[in-house]
Structure 1
């Protein structure tokens, strides 16, 4: 049933809390019994929603947020309520804005670190993760001319050096400081919890954003008493050349299916127009001399004005065909296109690669090692 604003009396203190919460990208929580009663009235009529214990948001505003940003709102709120908590695992990955599938937030669990003991759910919505190191970092949120910005600090929240931080030559107006496990520890925890296909986008994006090196991750694994073979496999395939989570997921499916690891972001030059360069998402140079290209097509390529340069869909499709013609002139034999839906379903992507003759490691194990060493450490 839709709520009726007319039945609610104006509550200026609550309205101010709602405005401040949205302005600072977090939820609001009760600060007095009067505020709590006003919140409950608005919760019952649907004006407010309660996504977490003692965390509220305006319903329409909350629905406008994607699952990852909803999680970040809850975490920022909890960091204010419980300043000593250190967020870990998927929660730290969300604050670091690593790439991953939003479906991982399906149960809205918040993960916090504990130094000793067994990882366990303490109460509904909170799960503790035992970490092998005590390295704590911070995500500092600050006011900008258009909203709220964020900067990663390899410092604990209590560090006096934070007071000396300047952004753009001036001291920032800080809205939140969220304690998180170090990026390396975060990746280890996520690599142990999630599957290879779920975790590889996190590892790729951390490397791409220069948040971590492979040595830092391996060092934590060496200190752990837990079998970290799944994490070491992720480190082996981690590649900062992957441009987004969709490409990382696509590559993870390719690896899991047994295909040779493709080269990423390879540049081809049209011999008839050497000043024109064309960068492709994935490429295989087969032992027989054939060149196979795989292009990951996101919907945004056709509908996002920032990516289409405000061209119509027909113009974009024409440009793509012209691009394919020039790539073929550069020596490419086969061009395969796939979409996020095909990648998510796995079978359509695998069938396309099999039909195209993409090489498989089980047929030529040497090529996996050769194709896997094309990126520098972050």
Structure 2
């Protein structure tokens, strides 16, 4: 167990006696088994986030099955592409040229491919970046877009690579094409990708990304805004994705830091308005998650709808 934790993977029940002993500890609550014959300390497992748990299972399974080629969301994890932790449900995705077998775990999802484009990350076999993106198109659009954006941002693949492979692949062409139309390496994180997807799905005009404005306090470090609409009537609307409502927690012990952040945001907003920005709207994750609230927020800010 200690060796497995050091290697950032699950422990493997190697042999019946060891496997039986580990399963007894699972029943006692000391150990968890996220996949058949894979084990981890309950305390250690609780310290991991959803992506780390998936990677622990993948690393262990790659030792058990060195010829397995991980695909879809599993491959995206290995590549380090950004995505929502909500997508993880314990399922492991692998590429195969055959169908499901009777011995397959319920947590194993086989992705059929007539030809498997194999890449390698250390000791782990994975599908190529282009094939990984094609398979991730099966995810909801607002969740898949972060995967596409980060793959482009990392320089692992181009839109041409994906569209070329799409023509040769039995896949959801429309889903892939929609993602390629909207994918953009300029978005800096998965939260921005998610927010943008909802903005577009609500019918709002395409924003500009990462537009810079002067920072009078430090011209070497200009302000960069997440979304910007420059309208024909001269108005400039800025939307910032701020994730969780980080200023709302009055119980936070670091109140001085919070006050400094709030003061910085106020100065920043004032500087933006001095350069022609007419409206600044902050999009918290709670706002983006509630499409009615997001719609009302953008509409009140004056962002134009095109459909």
TM-score by length of 1: 0.75
Displacement, 1:298? Answer: 2.7
From 103, 111, 130, the counterpart of 1:184: 130
Partner of 2:61: 78
Partner of 2:31: 48
Partner of 1:26: 9
Displacement, 1:134? Answer: 2.6
Aligned 8 A contact 1:120 1:129 in 2: no
Specify every segment of 5 or more residues in structure 2 that has no aligned partner in the other structure, as ranges. Answer: 249-253
From 85, 92, 103, the counterpart of 2:86: 103
Tell me whether 1:354 sits opposite 2:299 in the alignment: yes
From 174, 193, 197, the counterpart of 1:252: 197
Partner of 1:166: none
- Write the mapping of 1:256-295 to structure 2, written as runs, cut at 5 A: 256-269=201-214, 277-295=222-240
Displacement, 1:217? Answer: 0.3
Partner of 1:235: 180
Partner of 2:147: 202
Shift in alpha-carbon separation, 1:288–1:77, aligned structure 2, 3 A = same
Root-mean-square deviation (CA, aligned residues, Å) is: 2.5
Partner of 1:125: 107
Aligned 8 A contact 1:118 1:130 in 2: no
Aligned 8 A contact 1:334 1:356 in 2: yes
Q: Deviations over 1:286-327 (max 9, x none)?
A: 122210000111349769xxxxx9961011100100010001
Q: Distance in 2 between the 1:333 and 1:257 partners?
A: 22
Aligned 8 A contact 2:36 2:105 in 1: no
Aligned 8 A contact 2:130 2:161 in 1: yes
Q: Distance in 1 between the 2:168 and 2:115 partners?
A: 8
Partner of 2:251: none
Shift in alpha-carbon separation, 1:125–1:270, aligned structure 2, 3 A = closer
Displacement, 1:49? Answer: 0.8
TM-score by length of 2: 0.91
Aligned 8 A contact 1:133 1:185 in 2: no
Q: Deviations over 1:216-270 (max 9, x none)?
A: 1011111124441210111111111111111110000011111111111110125
SS of the residue aligned with 2:12?
coil
Q: Distance in 2 between the 1:357 and 1:181 partners?
A: 44
Partner of 2:49: 66
Aligned 8 A contact 1:28 1:56 in 2: yes
Shift in alpha-carbon separation, 1:38–1:290, aligned structure 2, 3 A = same
Q: Distance in 2 between the 1:229 and 1:119 partners?
A: 30
Shift in alpha-carbon separation, 1:272–1:63, aligned structure 2, 3 A = closer
Q: Distance in 2 between the 1:340 and 1:22 partners?
A: 33
Displacement, 1:37? Answer: 3.3
Aligned 8 A contact 1:132 1:220 in 2: no
Tell me whether 1:216 sits opposite 2:198 in the alignment: no
**Bigger CA radius of gyration:** 1
Aligned 8 A contact 1:302 1:313 in 2: yes
Aligned 8 A contact 2:134 2:171 in 1: no
Aligned 8 A contact 1:119 1:129 in 2: no
Q: Distance in 2 between the 1:226 and 1:134 partners?
A: 14
Q: Distance in 2 between the 1:119 and 1:216 partners?
A: 32
Aligned 8 A contact 2:244 2:286 in 1: no
